[in-house]
C-alpha cells in the first residue's frame, strides 16, 4: 500500500540534544513538507521541498534543518538551537499544487 510513514511515533530527548525525525513516502510525490503543531494550534510550516536536492524555509525554520537526497525521504533534524521543540510534528507530500496533501501519522517529540 502507498503512503507516508513517520518514525518514531513518540520521541523523548534531553534538552540540548539534536534529534532527527524520519519521513518516508512511496507515493512518488515530488513535494514534501514538515509542519509543527502545538496544542490547540494550527499547522505551521517548517520546511518544504518541491524537488530532490532542493528545499525552502517555511514560516518557522529557525532551529530546524532538512535534507532531500532521495525523492522518497525528507528527514527533519531538530537542533539544540530550537528554543521550544516539544510539539507534534507532521510530514506531508503532494504530487502537485493542484492536489491534496497526504499526511503521515506524526511524531510527538517531548524534550525533557
Partner 1 sequence: QQPVQSPQAVILREGEDAVINCSSSKALYSVHWYRQKHGEAPVFLMILLKGGEQKGHEKISASFNEKKQQSSLYLTASQLSYSGTYFCGTGTLGYGGATNKLIFGTGTLLAVQP
Binding site residues, partner 1, CB under 8 A: 31, 35, 40-45, 48, 50, 56, 58-59, 88, 90, 94, 96-106, 108
Query: How near is the Cβ of 80 to partner 1 at its closest, in Å?
Result: 27
Query: How near is the Cβ of 101 to partner 1 at its closest, in Å?
Result: 7
Nearer to partner 1, 1 or 15 (CB): 1
Query: How near is the Cβ of 4 to partner 1 at its closest, in Å?
Result: 9
Q: Which helix (H) or strand (E) holds 49?
A: strand 43-51
Nearer to partner 1, 3 or 17 (CB): 3
Residue pair 64/78 in contact by the 8 Å Cβ criterion: yes
Residue pair 46/38 in contact by the 8 Å Cβ criterion: no
Nearer to partner 1, 9 or 83 (CB): 9
Residue pair 109/6 in contact by the 8 Å Cβ criterion: no
Strands 43-51 and 64-66: unpaired
Look up residue 12 and give its three cell numbers.
523523548
Radius of gyration of the chain (CA): 13
Nearer to partner 1, 13 or 45 (CB): 45
Query: How near is the Cβ of 16 to partner 1 at its closest, in Å?
Result: 27
Amino acid at each position: 500500500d502507498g503512503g507516508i510513514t513517520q518514525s518514531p511515533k513518540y520521541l523523548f530527548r534531553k534538552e540540548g540534544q539534536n534529534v532527527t525525525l524520519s519521513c518516508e513516502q512511496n507515493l512518488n510525490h515530488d513535494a514534501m513538507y514538515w509542519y509543527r503543531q502545538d496544542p490547540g494550534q494550527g499547522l505551521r510550516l517548517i520546511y518544504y521541498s518541491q524537488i530532490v536536492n532542493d528545499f525552502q524555509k517555511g514560516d518557522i525554520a529557525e532551529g530546524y534543518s532538512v535534507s532531500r537526497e532521495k525523492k522518497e525521504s525528507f528527514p527533519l533534524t531538530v537542533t539544540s538551537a530550537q528554543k521550544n521543540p516539544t510539539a507534534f510534528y507532521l510530514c506531508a507530500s503532494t504530487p502537485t499544487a493542484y492536489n491534496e496533501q497526504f499526511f503521515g501519522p506524526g511524531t510527538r517529540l517531548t524534550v525533557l
